Amino acid sequence: MNKITYPNINCDNLFSTCLLSVNNDNQDYKNRLGNIAENISTQWRCFDDRITPKSLHEFLPCLPRRVDQIIDGEVTKKDLKNLYTVYMLKINSEARKVYDKLRASSKGGLCPLCGIYGVETLDHYLPKARYPLFSVHPRNLIPACEHCNGAKSDNILKVASDQTLYPYNDDIKFYSTDWIKASITAQYGILVFDFHAAPPLQWLEVERKRVINHFTIFELRQKYVRNSSQFVSTITADIRRMLLDGDYIAVKNHYAGLVTAVKFNSTLRAMYHALSINDDICSGRF
Ligand SMILES: [Zn+2]
């Protein structure tokens, strides 16, 4: 996971900017959406006010599936979803420039939700299918890989602990404390790593539940296991080589030293830590 900086974007204008992409022969659509601009602005301010106390779960979701459901005035859920999929994504439009700026806001281009794959799209923190008033709210749009975007689906937030990590400005401790741990087994002489969420016991229960929820929803266990496999042959060769010149203590110290060289909660950091405390593996007994 990576914390990212929210780009310098004027939120209030984006709704109107998206409407600029609508062709003149669709004036009815433009008018109907224009009529709810004031309420959109109010709802977006409310969203921004709920980011820091982490109370985004207090928004009521609309009904599932029914795309013709009226959300406000004469505007349907489908109208608001189209504002994103048709008009914000329109190539060469002003709204598309904002989309591209948000997508580029993750340093190094890594998905801030998993920290493994590259950013390919924007994920709606509150899914547009259930919270359509925020379909083009920039603060609701998180750069993400296709894997994380697809894994999240249209989950609604019922309680505070349902809120996954919010990379733009969540508590720094989620990104500067190790809460993803690895375990190792040897299967037919091959090292196999597994991963789990283990947030510190001193964190508030809601914080512990939030990171576990993040780990589960974005399928981080599966992603980390897949990612770890590329490092196994190098680690195995390194252990065998180090044991030719020293004992298992030297191997453990080697991995303990590597832990601090990589970022918190990364696949490698969890792997190095698990190695540094495993006498059997560091003794070459696998
Ligand atoms: Zn991802």
Quote the ligand 1 centre to 119 CA distance (angstroms): 7
Return mean pLDDT, the chain: 95
Q: Please tell me whether residues 154 and 17 are part of one structural domain.
A: yes
What is the domain range of residue 202? 173-282
Band of the pLDDT at 155, cuts 50, 70, 90? confident
- For 46-81, the pLDDT digits (tens) are 999 999 999 999 999 999 988 999 999 999 999 999
Is 1 contained in some domain? Answer: no
Which of 161, 191, 207 finishes a domain? 161
Q: Please tell me whether residues 125 and 146 are part of one structural domain.
A: yes
Q: Please tell me whether residues 17 and 141 are part of one structural domain.
A: yes
Which of 113, 141, 161 finishes a domain? 161
Is 3 contained in some domain? Answer: no
Quote the ligand 1 centre to 2 CA distance (angstroms): 10
Which of 111, 128, 161 finishes a domain? 161
Quote the ligand 1 centre to 137 CA distance (angstroms): 21
What is the average per-residue pLDDT within 108-133? 96
Is 123 contained in some domain? Answer: yes
Q: What values do phi and psi take at 187, rounded to 5?
A: -120, 110
Q: Please tell me whether residues 34 and 152 are part of one structural domain.
A: yes
d(CA 80, CA 76): 7
Is 220 contained in some domain? Answer: yes
Q: Please tell me whether residues 132 and 192 are part of one structural domain.
A: no
Quote the ligand 1 centre to 112 CA distance (angstroms): 7
- What pLDDT, on a 0 to 100 scale, did the predictor assign at position 182? 98
Is 124 contained in some domain? Answer: yes
What is the average per-residue pLDDT within 197-212? 98
Quote the ligand 1 centre to 117 CA distance (angstroms): 5
Q: Please tell me whether residues 112 and 245 are part of one structural domain.
A: no
- For 173-204, the pLDDT digits (tens) are 999 999 999 999 998 889 999 999 999 999 99
Classify the phi-psi angles of 5: left when phi > 0, otherwise alpha if psi is within -120 to 50, otherwise beta: beta
- For 74-101, the pLDDT digits (tens) are 999 999 999 999 999 999 999 999 999 9
Quote the ligand 1 centre to 142 CA distance (angstroms): 11
Quote the ligand 1 centre to 151 CA distance (angstroms): 9
Length of the chain: 286
Quote the ligand 1 centre to 220 CA distance (angstroms): 9
pLDDT at 12 over 80: no
pLDDT at 45 over 80: yes
